[in-house]
Amino acid sequence: MVIFNADCSRVVTSSAFGKAKKGDWNARLKVWDAASGGLVGVLSEHTQPVYVLDTHPRDRRVIVSAGYDAKVCFWDIQTCSVLKVVTISFATDLRLLPVDFDARAADILDGKFEPDGTGFAGTHKNGWLSIVSFDYRRDRLQATHREQFFQTDARRLEVDAQSNVIDREAQLPPHLVPQGLLCDRFMTPHETQVAALTDVPVDLMPLLLSDSLRASAPEALEPLSGGGGLV
């Protein structure tokens, strides 16, 4: 990974090739002088490979790095010092089977500063998106549903006689199927809905939500053959 800072006076590199000994990743994030090519300093905080580097859109001194250690680090590259470290983790979900648990789920694979520099968004190995915010939006983000899927996101598809991909149940192209209510990853509708995000008429939403929650309740699900459990 190679980036310039906002005024192109510094170059930051991250090397993650080959095997490294424990702690060796600390020496692989470096700051260089863009004019002379000389080494300015080493940024020591990460303990795993770093594949995310981004420069602050307004402040030439600030960059962000993130990596497989689930750390988001904000740096002052003028002094080669860390400004803030955010370590992201996920609680164990008891609804998942042990075989589905991934101890490296929080590894950060990609990320970017917001255009105005007031936050950073990163994606994880488990498909989640984390947002680190520095302004008034923090409270609003915390009130947002952590899992956001629509009822039709996991519906089965098939190929029709004309080789078109269609929704098996509706017999329509997926983009023409009403997306329904906002759900968690297990397709259980959230008890509070954001009308602007769904295509469900406002007057029908309470009835549809009630029916959907009743249908997804544990007692309404048939046990799996040979053991039982929730689907």
User: 80 with 61: CB under 8 angstroms?
Assistant: no
Q: Please name the helix (run of DSSP H) or strand (run of DSSP E) that holds residue 124, with its range, or none.
A: strand 119-124
Token pair recorded at residue 203: 């007057």
pLDDT of 143: 74
- Residues 6 or more apart whose CB falls under 8 angstroms from that of 158 comprise 165, 166, 168
- The H-or-E segment that residue 209 falls in is helix 205-216
Q: What percent of the chain has pLDDT over 70?
A: 74
CA angle 117, 106, 69 (to 5 degrees): 80
CA dist 28 and 4 (Å) reads: 16
CA–CA dist 17, 152 (Å, integer): 41
Neighbours of 20 (CB within 10 A): 16
108-149 pLDDT per residue, tens:
999 999 998 989 999 998 888 888 987 767 777 777 787 888
Structure tokens at 205: 């939403």
- Nearest-angstrom CA–CA distance, 20 and 69: 14
Residues 153-165 have a mean pLDDT of 91
Q: How confident is the model at residue 19 (pLDDT cuts 50, 70, 90)?
A: low
Does the reported pTM lie above 0.75? no
